[in-house]
Amino acid sequence: MSSIKPLNGIKIIDFTHVQAGPACTQMLAWFGADVIKVERPGAGDVTRSQLRDIPDVDALYFTMLNSNKRSLTLDTKQPEGKVVLEKLIKESDVLVENFGPGALDRMGFTWERIQELNPKMIVASVKGFSDGHHYDDLKVYENVAQCAGGAASTTGFWDGPPTVSAAALGDSNTGMHLAIGILTAIIGRQQTGKGQRVACAMQDAVLNLCRVKMRDQLRLDKLGYLEEYPQYPQYPQYPQYPQYPQYPQYPQYPQYPHGTFSDVVPRGGNAGGGGQPGWVLKCKGWQTDPNAYIYFTVQGHAWAPICDAIGKPEWKTDPDYVTPKARQPHIMDIFATIEGWLADKTKFEAVDILRKFDIPCSPVLTMKELLHDPSLRASGSIVEVPHKERGSYFTVGSPIKFSDLKPEITGSPLLGEHTDEVLAELGYSKDQIGNLRESKAV
Ligand code: CAO
């Protein structure tokens, strides 16, 4: 394993806060970039003090999004602070920010000014909406983005309200998109010698992950129904299934509004998309354990093994079961039968049986189970890192694995921990640093 990391030598001004921007720069730091987090003196990133589990110590919200970085405190609204930032811009490759709309300009660091200071500079921004969008003045947090990007209207059950996901589709996902943009701009600069602006709107990043839901809207516009959605059997164009006019045998799955598809993609509960129907199925203990479930997928070509696995070999040749189209109208019936088979198996036992039949499935894992999963520890997806004040803490490591790079996750910096070090690198003497401290610019 090489000790030289691919992004060694790339210097990043990390003007980010909360989650979207920090997730991006943290990943670049893991891969070798020198990420200098610029924070307001005395306060720092708001997440340092949000949802603390230990009094007066940086909260996990901060430590889990800012590992491998250095922290420089700098008041960029003070003239002396602006001078420091100008020096930093001249020496850096990338500036990443996720302030509210217009904040960087109001600080005096417009794109034009930054280009004057350093024409090779790449300026990367996260905003809620793209430039010129009719909502581009809005400040945006995670769940706002999930609603704006189409995730909420298509997530949840049809008899409940729009629902947001626990996964940070608005924040960390946008940060990951931005990281791709930054790396692209770095490679572009190798060819042109020039920097450029890179922007990723949270709405766009969410929408990019909701691509198949947009696919469904286009199909719905054309066909008026979506055959793989649980709502499908009630569609009036399908009188060949009179036994399912309203799903009376499944009161827990009431029909989607008015027994038909409306003109927008409905919420499909836990239905699997594409050609592989799936559902979350109860396992042994579900009555008391809210996570005693597996996700079970009825992959088309795995039908025969599924029948063998659940003890229903006769379904292999039954015309009502043999093709995906024949199965779809009573897919809930099929899932109910599989739940009967699962009733005396834990989620782990069930998956251990089903894996032998090559059936795509997984236990529904809790955060606790993931935290203690030996495989995730071994792969570096969950890591324990030291911290100067809180002792060691667990965090989520790099989800990307390389053959010649092993990201080593180090603890997050204390507020201003590297201020003197970074200023000295910029050429400031001890006295000058003292003066900056006196004026509260750092
Ligand atoms: N020195 C001096 N001033 C500083 C500073 C520093 N080191 N760092 C930040 N500031 C100032 C900014 O200049 C800005 O001042 P003005 O608004 O007076 O020009 C102010 O602090 C911070 O502005 P903000 O709008 O970013 O902060 P907020 O808490 O009001 O809003 C958020 C937070 C996240 C809603 C907003 O930043 C935003 O919409 N960002 C873009 C979208 C985004 O990334 N959202 C996801 C965040 S993760 O959930």
pLDDT tens digits for range 283-294: 999 999 999 999
Residue of the nearest CA to atom 28 in ligand 1? Answer: 100
Atom of ligand 1 at shortest range from CA of 38 = 7
- Please report the pLDDT score of residue 67 as a whole number: 98
Residue of the nearest CA to atom 18 in ligand 1? Answer: 103
Q: How far apart are CA 177 and CA 203, in angstroms?
A: 12
Band of residue 274 on the pLDDT scale cut at 50, 70, 90: low
Cα of 24 from ligand 1 centre, angstroms: 16
pLDDT tens digits for range 1-32: 878 899 999 999 999 999 999 999 999 999 99
Q: What is the pTM of this model?
A: 0.94
Atom of ligand 1 at shortest range from CA of 128 = 42
Summary mean pLDDT of the chain? 92
Rg of the chain, C-alpha, whole Å: 26
With the most atoms of ligand 1 within 8 angstroms of its CB, the residue from 19, 24, 99, 202 to mutate is 99
Q: Do the beta carbons of residue 170 and residue 181 sit within 8 Å?
A: no
- Please report the pLDDT score of residue 250 as a whole number: 41
**What 3 state SS string does 67-113 have?**
CCCEEEECCCCCHHHHHHHHHHHHHCCEEEECCCCCHHHHCCCCHHH
Question: Does the pLDDT at position 243 exceed 80?
Answer: no
Residue of the nearest CA to atom 9 in ligand 1? Answer: 40
Length of the chain as a residue count: 442
Band of residue 233 on the pLDDT scale cut at 50, 70, 90: low
Cα of 76 from ligand 1 centre, angstroms: 12
pLDDT tens digits for range 155-212: 998 878 999 999 999 999 999 999 999 999 999 999 999 999 999 999 999 999 999 9
Q: What percent of the chain has pLDDT over 90?
A: 83
Mean predicted confidence (pLDDT) in 66-72? 98
Question: Does the pLDDT at position 412 exceed 80?
Answer: yes
Question: Does the pLDDT at position 239 exceed 70?
Answer: no
pLDDT tens digits for range 41-63: 999 999 999 999 999 999 999 99
Catalytic residues: 171
Mean predicted confidence (pLDDT) in 345-374? 97
Mean predicted confidence (pLDDT) in 106-115? 97
- Please report the pLDDT score of residue 116 as a whole number: 98
* Residue 34, SS3 per DSSP: strand
Q: Taking Cα atoms as reference points, which of 22, 78, 125, 20 lies closest to residue 413? A: 22
- Please report the pLDDT score of residue 158 as a whole number: 83
Cα of 113 from ligand 1 centre, angstroms: 20
Q: 236-257 in b/e burial notation, b at 16+ Cβ within 10 A?
A: eeeeeeeebeebeeeeebebbe
Query: What tokens were used for 261?
Result: 């598809």
Band of residue 232 on the pLDDT scale cut at 50, 70, 90: low
Question: Does the pLDDT at position 251 exceed 60?
Answer: no
